């Protein structure tokens, strides 16, 4: 149950987005560019990073919702959960696991990041843009975690998350919520990009 009596029992972040379109219109546009725009990381990989970063930080809502989006984009079903339980045995290639190690540290202990963390990712063959995109997706997850925790939003069921994931895959981050796309005034972003490495 959200902490504000003005919010319905099943409210989530969209309830806040719709109240403050001047803030969350640009946020939604940024999210579309970050998660679906051109990147060395595929859409599925970016969704996996978001779900994993929030899972290790304890944000169940984003973990559940965005792991289902990752699976909708072709990431193997259950990969996020396997990464949490058995990182070495999860169905993700070794190069991507280096990036996820970076993401985990950034999400949990950001003030401990150092040159070695950056060097490890670059030495694994990731470009500076891929590193930037992983940082930005992780930062987006940290923002969402604070918003969700502050309002007391609870995760949806896996079934509801899977249904919503298909809508998010089809509509992106701006057009997902009726009436919100017009406030976002999103520029056209070329969908796709990246390669599936997991």
* Separation between Cα atoms, residue 131 and residue 127, nearest integer Å: 6
28-84: per-residue pLDDT in tens?
999 999 999 999 999 999 999 999 999 999 999 999 999 999 999 999 999 999 999
* Separation between Cα atoms, residue 76 and residue 78, nearest integer Å: 6
- Res 195: pLDDT: 30
Confidence of residue 89 (pLDDT cuts 50, 70, 90): confident
For range 7-32, the mean pLDDT: 92
CA distances from 121 to 2, 96, 109, 127 (A): 39, 9, 17, 8
Q: Is the pLDDT of residue 4 over 70?
A: yes
Phi and psi at 195, nearest 5°, equal -130, 145
In 3D, which of 26, 32, 14 has the Cα closest to residue 173? 32
- Res 1: pLDDT: 83
For range 156-165, the mean pLDDT: 93
- Res 177: pLDDT: 66
Q: Is the pLDDT of residue 192 over 60?
A: no
- Res 176: pLDDT: 76
Q: Flag the least confident range among 79-88, 129-138, 160-169, 174-183.
A: 174-183
Q: Is the pLDDT of residue 143 over 90?
A: yes
Is residue 146 packed enough to be buried (19+ CB in 10 Å), middle (13-18) or exposed (0-12)? exposed
Confidence of residue 179 (pLDDT cuts 50, 70, 90): low
Percent pLDDT > 90 in the chain is 80
Percent pLDDT > 70 in the chain is 89
Q: What is the mean pLDDT of the chain?
A: 89
For range 154-175, the mean pLDDT: 92
Pull the structure tokens for residue 147: 């918003």
């Amino acid at each position: 149950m959200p902490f504000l009596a003005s919010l319905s029992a099943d409210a989530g972040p969209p309830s806040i987005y719709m109240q403050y379109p001047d803030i969350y219109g640009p946020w939604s546009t940024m999210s579309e560019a970050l998660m679906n725009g051109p990147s060395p990381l595929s859409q599925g990989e970016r969704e996996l990073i978001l779900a994993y970063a929030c899972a290790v930080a304890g944000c169940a809502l984003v973990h559940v919702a965005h792991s289902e989006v990752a699976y909708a984009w072709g990431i193997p079903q259950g990969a996020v959960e396997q990464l949490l339980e058995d990182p070495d045995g999860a169905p993700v290639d070794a190069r991507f696991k280096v990036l996820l190690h970076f993401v985990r540290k950034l999400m949990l202990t950001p003030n401990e990041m150092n040159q070695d963390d950056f060097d490890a990712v670059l030495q694994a063959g990731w470009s500076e843009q891929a590193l930037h995109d992983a940082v930005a997706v992780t930062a987006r997850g940290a923002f969402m975690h604070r918003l969700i925790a502050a309002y007391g939003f609870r995760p949806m069921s896996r079934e509801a998350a899977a249904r919503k994931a298909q809508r998010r895959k089809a509509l992106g981050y701006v057009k997902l919520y009726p009436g919100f796309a017009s406030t976002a005034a999103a520029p056209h972003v070329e969908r796709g990009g990246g390669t599936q490495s997991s």
